[in-house]
Chains A and B, each alone.
Chain A
Amino acid sequence: MEEFSNLLHGFAIALTWQNLMFMFVGILLGVLIGVLPGLGGANGVAILLPLTFSMPPTSAIIMLSCIYWGALFGGAITSILFNIPGEPWSVATTFDGYPMAQQGRAGEALTAAFTSSFVGALFAVIVITFLAPLVARFALRFGPAEFFAVQLLTFCSFVGLARSAPAKTIAAMMLGFALASVGLDTVTGTLRMTFGSTELLRGFDFLIAVIGLFGIGEILLTMEEGLAFKGVRARINPKVVLHTWAQLPKYWMTALRGTLIGCWMGITPGGATPASFMSYGVAKRLSRDGHKFGTGQIEGVIAPETAAHAAGTSALLPMLTLGIPGSPTAAVLLGGLLIWGLQPGPLLFVEQKDFVWGLIASMYLANIVGLAIVLTTVPWWAAILRVPFSIIAPIIVVICSVGAFTVHNALFDVALMLVFGVVGYLFKKLDYPLAPMVLALVLGDLAESSFRQAMLLSQGSMTIFWANGLVGGIVALALLMLVWPLLSGFLAKFRRGGDAHLANERPIE
């Protein structure tokens, strides 16, 4: 097995003391980001990305991906103790996690959440280890038309899978593409949509957009809610942990289902948030105690947490192999790859073995380290949330501003961040999905260049997109995803019922 030797080589890279330190720092920062409202995985990574410009890419990706894992863990803490989801993917964890905490079983809920996150993530890393090289090898055969078809599939899946109105998903996506095309056209050297402004020459950087949309937008929303944090005290001691661990094997079926749903939703660009809701819904329907869900069932914590972590982790698979991120945070990491001078895509597995396998090995280590860290440090994080929001909010605004400035050393970007903040607030309130917009902004240039290359090959004829079985199949699948809302609406007319209550509560990442 070639993967094993590659993986061992990866461990040799990840286990240097320097990379271990970055891993540790990354996880701590990640949990902090996950705990604080207004700072999430995507914009936390976006803010810290400029600091890694000068670091070796492998160390940089290890630290930034660890921030992501940390944020995934951290989201559960606020959900369970404070009934406030620190991250969108931990909303479903509040349904049963918070009732458990109110009954004095906070330690149990937290242990279950962290352990099932760990299990979900570990399974997803194993999937990545063995599936990613296969996908990459297969994708080596792709030409520009195939790449564009895969990108088309990604964006059509958003329309198909999103809970928002299809028109809004398309509008958000196209706005992202439009913003991505502003600035210098790299092929012809023409200035596009700059309208004579030198500030617009740089174009709209997706990092600024992410910091504004997710950071400032979230602060505005949180302020509107007028949050006062009232939390439940958490005590975790080895006895509770061991007691909970002894119970967990009983729920292996729930965990397995959650993991599978998560892996599927992560690889297709569903993302962690829909995955956690879907897993919760399925567990509720299939469990013997389904009717007791929402009153503090440990299964109701296990289901969304395994799915969220499996999805968050497996979102890196399409990012590494095809250059298509499965979640907004993966999109920011992909942007990082481009900045560090690495071309994402199947060639990464051939040309940058150290980078790819170092990252995959670090995912194994980081999840073990992460589990140990969160289990031992829960009370500290809970204490941070007791700091009043009137101190935390302005500090987060300052951090976001600093982060936006350091991307290009431009003050204009800080103002732009505020504009994106308002857009994020409006879009969230009107139920426009943000993830496709961010993905379009990141992938805009790549998608455009593969489209143009395909068009060049075919001399402007669209027939290249069904010239052979492979590209035709992907395009057909993409179109199927695009009309999926219509189809499923049609089907639902025949099969009345379903879980309307849960469907209403599904937010979009």
Chain B
Amino acid sequence: MTEKEPAAISTRAIEIIVALMLLSVAVLVIYDSKRIGAGWAADGPEAGYFPFYIGALLGVASIWILLQAMLQKTSPVFVAPDRFQRVLAVFIPTALYIATIYFIGIYLASAFFLALFMRRHGKFGWRKMLAVSVLVPGILFLLFEVWFLVPLPKGPLENLFGY
């Protein structure tokens, strides 16, 4: 996904990329099924027996899609650049959010994520922003750690308070 290019990406190109990805999954499945045995053992079908056929069918279907896409002459634009900007504006913060959960736990990460997202896309005042980004993780904390006793990922801050 080359979002830097000003030329709009055609649906056909994405179609071909996705078909190729599916094809590589199919090859992987067939390869691994062959490795663990896709035939018939003394005690019945081997572990790779069923997945082998799944992989084969996936391969056939993806080649079919690939050919259809390549034979297409005209193709609409997959996504206009400004729309794609908006998609990235959610995707990148979400990816960063999930990465930060690893380090500072889900509660603090959620607070930062909510605050930054609201600030960037909503142009809210500080007061509203703080309210939401403190309340939501707070409710989650009560719900999971206190009432349902389901532990969620925590970081140094929670450790400080003995959780």
Contact = CB atoms under 8 A, between A and B. Distances in A.
Contacts of B14: 426, 429-430
Contacts of A220: 87, 90-91
Nearest to B50: A448
B79 to A, nearest CB: 7
B140 A192 contact: no
A159 B122 CA distance: 43
Interface string A441-461: 000000010011001100010
A58 to B, nearest CB: 19
Interface in A447-479: 448, 451-452, 455-456, 460
A223 B51 contact: no
B47 A178 contact: no
A191 B36 CA distance: 8
Given A170-B61, A193-B32, A426 B18 contact: yes
Contact of B132 (A168, A391, A414): A391
B148 interface: yes
A401 B61 contact: no
Interface string B41-61: 000111111110011011011
Contacts of A421: 94
A190 B58 contact: no
Contact of A418 (B29, B79, B83, B98): B98
Contact of B45 (A50, A405, A452): A452
B125 interface: no
B142 interface: no
Nearest to A225: B83
Given A405-B106, A429-B78, A430-B14, A51 B114 contact: no
The bracket for how many chain B residues form the interface is 35 or more
The bracket for how many chain A residues form the interface is 35 or more
Contacts of A192: 32-33, 36, 47-48, 51
B118 A391 contact: yes
A223 B87 contact: yes
Contacts of B45: 452, 455-456, 460
A175 B25 contact: yes
A411 B65 CA distance: 34
A394 interface: yes
Interface string A392-417: 01110110011001100101001100
Interface string A157-198: 000000001011011001101100100010110111101000
A430 B15 contact: yes
B28 interface: yes
Given A165-B65, A223-B86, A430-B11, A398 B113 contact: yes
A453 B118 CA distance: 54
Given A395-B114, A418-B98, A429-B79, A174 B44 contact: no
A175 B58 contact: yes
Nearest to B57: A174
Contact of A398 (B15, B28, B114): B114
Nearest to A219: B90
A426 B44 CA distance: 39
A435 B124 CA distance: 38
Interface of A: 50-51, 165, 167-168, 170-171, 174-175, 177-178, 181, 185, 187-188, 190-193, 195, 216, 219-220, 223-226, 388, 390-391, 393-395, 397-398, 401-402, 405-406, 409, 411, 414-415, 418, 421-422, 425-427, 429-430, 432, 448, 451-452, 455-456, 460
7 contacts: A165-B65, A171-B58, A224-B79, A224-B83, A402-B152, A452-B50, A455-B44
Given A192-B47, A390-B124, 12 more contacts: A50-B150, A167-B65, A177-B54, A187-B44, A187-B47, A220-B91, A223-B86, A391-B124, A409-B151, A426-B14, A429-B79, A452-B49
Interface of B: 11, 14-15, 18-19, 22, 25-26, 28-29, 32-33, 36, 40, 44-51, 54-55, 57-58, 60-62, 64-65, 68, 78-79, 83-84, 86-87, 89-91, 93-95, 97-98, 101-102, 106, 110, 113-114, 117-118, 121-122, 124, 132, 136-137, 140, 144, 148, 150-153
The 4 A-B pairs at the shortest CB distance, nearest first, are namely A390-B122, A174-B58, A190-B47, A390-B121
